[in-house]
């Protein structure tokens, strides 16, 4: 991924350059945790490419390498400024949950306007991974994603991050260490779905004891309403507190119906009111197959991919 003189085989055509859009969108989403922000990054990246003269473009040996490097730099700037904006965010900030299961890939025929339709699902976009990545420094996140997920060499990452290759290696190692420390155990999807289904049934029947039994004693529930929807502003910790929280919410909103659906590649819950998605819940299990983490997305702006499927956006 260097910008040495252009070999004869390189393709700088409009179709070839825009053919890499999906790769850039997937890169930017993993960086930012928002499909709309990722779309903005991709658009800005292409604007910078077409701001170059034709001669400058032809001097670039690998347009894709150039696009990835520029997109990474834009994401790094966005992440740095986002830390300031998050200080004013109401309550907890969570990444955007995506519909679908890991391994399903991307529908090659998808042509819808929602960028979330073009983001492939794998372990790097689960709620747990994106939440941990949001806790590391912007430089650590960029170095880790570029190297570990997209295979960019550290010599190239150094140009994006503005540090030495050795420093970039350390940045990626630090992020990797944080992810491994927080990594949930591997649970069969069918078993995961069974636990989520049991949790759903207990919520619907108001079975407090069963709910408490399904939750780990140290379970944590984190909600994101962004000040747009009333919800807990801080994480709720403990099986009993979480169970009572869910039952209390359902008593106040009897019109909510839950359905087990894949959330960012793993079984979770989707709550709808009158057929419109109002909440998406990502769920991670412990080694004992109890619920250890719940992420409740209620911010309307982060539910656009789900509401498009409801036929309401």
Provide CATH code, domain 189-310: 3.10.450.50
Percent of the chain having pLDDT more than 70? 89
Contact criterion met (CB below 8 Å) for 264 and 121 = yes
What is the band of 126 on the pLDDT scale with cuts at 50, 70, 90? very high
Q: Which residues pair with 270 in a beta bridge?
A: 259, 280
Q: Which residues pair with 221 in a beta bridge?
A: 236, 294
pLDDT for the residue numbered 259: 95
Return the axis-axis angle of helices 63-86 and 21-32, rounded to nearest 10°: 30
What is the band of 112 on the pLDDT scale with cuts at 50, 70, 90? low
Return the axis-axis angle of helices 35-51 and 21-32, rounded to nearest 10°: 130
The mean pLDDT of the chain is 88
Transcribe 9-65 into DSSP letters: T----HHHHHTTHHHHHHHHHHHHS-HHHHHHHHHHHHHHHHHS-HHHHHT-S-HHH
More confident residue, 93 or 6: 93
Enumerate the domain spans of the chain. 14-101+136-182, 189-310
Reduce the DSSP state of residue 243 to 3 states and report it.
helix
Residue 243 has pLDDT above 50, yes or no: yes
pLDDT for the residue numbered 184: 86
pLDDT for the residue numbered 312: 63
Distance CA 207, CA 186 (A): 28
Architecture of the structural domain at 14-101+136-182 = Up-down Bundle (1.20)
Could you report the per-residue pLDDT of 134-161, keeping only the tens digit for each? 999 999 999 999 999 999 999 999 999 9
Residue 110 has pLDDT above 90, yes or no: no
């Amino acid at each position: 991924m260097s910008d040495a003189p252009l070999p004869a085989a390189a393709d700088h055509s409009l179709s070839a350059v825009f053919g890499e859009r999906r790769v850039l969108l997937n890169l930017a989403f993993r960086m930012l945790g928002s499909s709309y922000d990722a779309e903005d990054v991709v658009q800005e990246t292409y604007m910078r490419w077409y701001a170059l003269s034709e001669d400058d473009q032809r001097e670039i040996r690998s347009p894709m390498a150039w696009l990835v490097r520029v997109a990474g730099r834009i994401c790094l700037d966005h992440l740095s400024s986002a830390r300031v904006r998050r200080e004013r965010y109401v309550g907890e900030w969570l990444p955007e949950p995506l519909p679908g299961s890991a391994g399903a890939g991307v529908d090659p025929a998808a042509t819808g306007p929602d960028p979330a339709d073009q983001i492939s699902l794998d372990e790097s976009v689960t709620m747990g991974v994106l939440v941990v990545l949001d806790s590391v420094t912007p430089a650590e996140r960029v170095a880790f994603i570029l190297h570990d997920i997209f295979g960019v060499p550290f010599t190239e990452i150094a140009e994006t991050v503005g540090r030495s290759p050795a420093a970039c290696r350390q940045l990626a190692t630090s992020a990797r260490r944080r992810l491994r420390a927080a990594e949930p155990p591997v649970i069969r999807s069918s078993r995961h779905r069974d636990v989520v289904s049991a949790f759903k049934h207990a919520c619907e029947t108001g079975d407090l004891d069963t709910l408490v039994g399904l939750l780990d004693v140290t379970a944590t529930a984190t909600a994101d309403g962004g000040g747009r929807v009333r919800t807990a502003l801080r994480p709720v910790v403990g099986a009993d507190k979480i169970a009572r929280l869910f039952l209390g919410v359902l008593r106040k909103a009897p019109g909510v119906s839950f359905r087990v659906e894949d959330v960012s590649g793993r079984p979770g819950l989707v709550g709808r009111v009158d057929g419109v998605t109002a909440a998406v819940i990502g769920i991670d299990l412990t080694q004992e197959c109890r619920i250890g983490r719940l992420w409740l997305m209620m911010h309307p702006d982060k539910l656009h991919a789900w509401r498009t499927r409801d036929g309401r956006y």
